[in-house]
Structure 1
Amino acid sequence: MKKYALATLISPFLFFLFTNCNKDKSNTEETPVKDTIVVKIDSVEKKPITTIDTVDYNQRMIALSNNDTTGRWPVKAPYPLPGALLPYNRIIAFYGNLYSKRMGVLGEYPKAEMIEKLQEEVAKWQAADSSVTTIPALHYIAVSAQAAPGKANRHNMRMPFKQIDTLLSWAKPINALVFLDIQVGHSTVKEEVSQLEDYLALPNVHLGIDPEFSMKNGEIPGKKIGTMSADDINDAIDILVRIVREKKLAPKILVVHRFTQGMLTNYKAIKTTPEVQIVMDMDGFGSQVLKRSTYLRYIYKEPVQFTGFKLFYKNDNWNDWKMYTPEQLLEFTPKPSYIQFQ
């Protein structure tokens, strides 16, 4: 089990487990042509917001800040476009990959069992906080970092579009969001997000980025913790802004994983726009004390816009640790708007 310095969380998963489970697939599947997209899903919002009530929005943002007195929260940012999901909702996401039972709960259980478990978590969070609507999400690792360079020398593997189509079909009956997560390896955010644009143009599809596997100096993913700068994050934001404007969509959500100082540099330069809502997600597993410390250091003290928190069914309950409950996390400042289970 890999551990890092004091107050630094353990990596969310060991990427080589995925590689070992898929030796016949690793770095062999290149991106199919984009016309393979076959699923079109309407927005999950039952009653879309047509205007932004700024008074209500401000009150909700203050409530999320949980009486913060430092001036950090709520973050000053442009009001979102109509139809924004945050701060009106809380997102409960299951994370993983369909090729592996070891990368997260999304791929660990059969579909029906996984969906039932997700809906149970949604109900728990709705009961814990009725001030917002709790909605489910499937957070899918669409680009996975790899130890081997592969034919394109990217040190990552792009999932076939048919898998993304499968996730979209699973999401539709339960009105769930879909997040496509990228681990760039030796590639770039711009290159990897661009090849997913047709999916990101769908109303309920959003984006996740994992700086842990961005290897700026040519290292092998998994050998050390990677890093991204505000420029990398802004590349993704620029693409999402363009898609939202061209397709006349509600704002997109961008989840950025973080559990060390070095994973994200120059955070103050990250753009905030009406078209994109940014969630800084406290990643990693460990004891409650360690996870709270990490949230305070890298999420609370370096505010971007909204916050998230990752929970691990197994690793947060290991070694006499206990996974945080909804009631406990709602005491955090700020309250997380996005909860991810692995």
Structure 2
Amino acid sequence: MSAQPHVRGRNRRQAALIGVPLALGIVLVAALVRYITQTGEPAAPPRAQATPTAAPVKAEPVFDPSAGAALPTSRVVAYYAVPGAAATGPAYRLGADMLARLKDQAAQYQALDPAHPVVAGIDLVVSVPDRYPGPVGTYSHHVDKATIDSYVEFCRANGLVLFLDLNFGWTDPLTELNAFADYLKLPFVHVAVDPEWMFPRRNGIPGENLSNVRAADLNPLIQAVAEMPAQYHVPRKMFIIHQYRPDGDDLTDPYNPGKALIADKRNLVNDSRVDVVVHVDSVGGWDGDIETKTEQYNDWVAQGMQRYGNFRYGGFKIFYQLESKHRLMTPAEVMALQPPPMVITYGN
């Protein structure tokens, strides 16, 4: 009997502890009932705060130097000249008559090979070789800027490509190329070089001595032009090497200017970023000249492509006046060369 008061006290404390959360629960349920009664809907759980989404980054288009490049999809037919010198070529003076004649010549090649649209152009000598040293001792001079500008605008207006033809003399090759860098930022302006008038070792005078150049003289030019498309965001450029005399690769003395123009063509750099064209530039004008020039094309271009693999295109030049002493090769005869030339130029 003495333990009962203690038990009753313990029971009362347990009831009190149970009653507290029970009372809180009743209060919360009552509050919820009042909320539903007033709003007609249960309370929504708290929402997580949305994380802001970053705007999508627009990808820059990938630059493709092949887009808009003339080769290999097109063929080029161009008129050659030193400005103001009628004897050099039909582009010596700009005008509607010259343009009409050029377009007619281009159309003849287009008819023979519809698969390669023909782009007409001008091969313009902008650094002219001299027999005298001149004020800076380079045996060459530049065509004045106003004249070059007029050719640039003529080509732009008429959809022509323009080759800036460099003849060097004693000038450092890269210095000469860089002198025309502003023009080469234009998508339709390309480069031609004529090693016949190039004396990087200053061992001869243009027009008096024969020249002999090495791949090491030409490679810095090829690579500089190869870099221009990415630098200026323009289509891949053409680089013409005019060849007037044989290669020296099979000679005992490849550096003999009387025997070879390019001592070591095998060592020309192979750079896919530029379209190198080896262009047969010899002059006919006698009975049998067509056979001779055909053989030169086979030796200097076709065999060179197969042996060295460091250039992909051939070029060929016709001289309207000089070669008409015998007869001119027809466009069909030019196109019969293998592989067919992708750049054909006409001088006088």
Same fold (TM over 0.5): yes
Equivalent residues of 1:105, 1:114 under 8 A apart:
yes
Aligned residue for 1:144? 128
Aligned amino acid, residue 105 of structure 1: P
Choose 1 or 2 for highest CA Rg: 2
Aligned match of 1:24: none
Deviation at 1:293, TM superposition (A): 1.8
Once the two structures are TM-superposed, the CA of residue 110 in structure 1 deviates from its matched residue by: 5.4
What is the aligned-residue RMSD (CA, Å)? 1.7
Shift of residue 244, structure 1, vs aligned partner: 1.6
Per-residue CA shift, 1:131-160, capped at 9, x if unaligned?
100010011000010001001100001111
Of the three residues 206, 209, 214, the one matched with 2:193 is 209
Q: Give the superposition deviation at 1:112.
A: 1.6
Give the match for residue 14 of structure 1: none
Deviation at 1:82, TM superposition (A): 3.5
The correspondence for 1:333, drawn from 325, 332, 338, is: 338
- 5+ unaligned residues in a row in structure 1: which ranges? 1-49, 53-79
Partner of 2:321: 314
Q: Which has the higher helix share?
A: 2
CA distance in 2, matches of 1:84, 1:111: 27
> Could you tell me which residue of structure 2 aligns to residue 284 of structure 1?
282
Aligned length: 263
SS in 1 for 2:120: strand
Alignment-derived partner of residue 174 in structure 1:
158
Task: Tell me the percent identity.
Answer: 23
Higher relative contact order (CA 8 A, sep 6+): 1
| Gap runs ≥5 in structure 2 | 1-61, 247-259, 306-310
- Is the Cα–Cα contact under 8 Å of residues 173 and 221 in structure 2 kept in the other structure? yes
CA contact (8 A) 2:63 2:233 kept: no
The residue aligned with 1:296 is 298
Distance in 2 between the 1:221 and 1:114 partners?
29
Scaled by the length of structure 1, the TM-score of the pair is 0.73
Residue number in structure 1 paired with 2:211: 226
Counterpart Cα distance in 2 of 1:317 and 1:90: 24
Shift of 1:245: 1.5
Alignment pair present for 1:161 and 2:171: no
SS of 1:279's equivalent? strand
Give yes or no for contact 1:94–1:341 (8 Å, CA) kept in 2.
yes
Superposition deviation, residue 229 in structure 1: 1.5
Spell out structure 1 runs of 4+ moving beyond 6 A: none
**Residue number among 270, 273, 277 corresponding to 2:271 in the alignment:** 273
User: How far has the Cα of 1:169 moved from its partner?
Assistant: 1.4
SS in 1 for 2:103: helix
**Secondary structure in 1 aligned to 2:304?**
coil
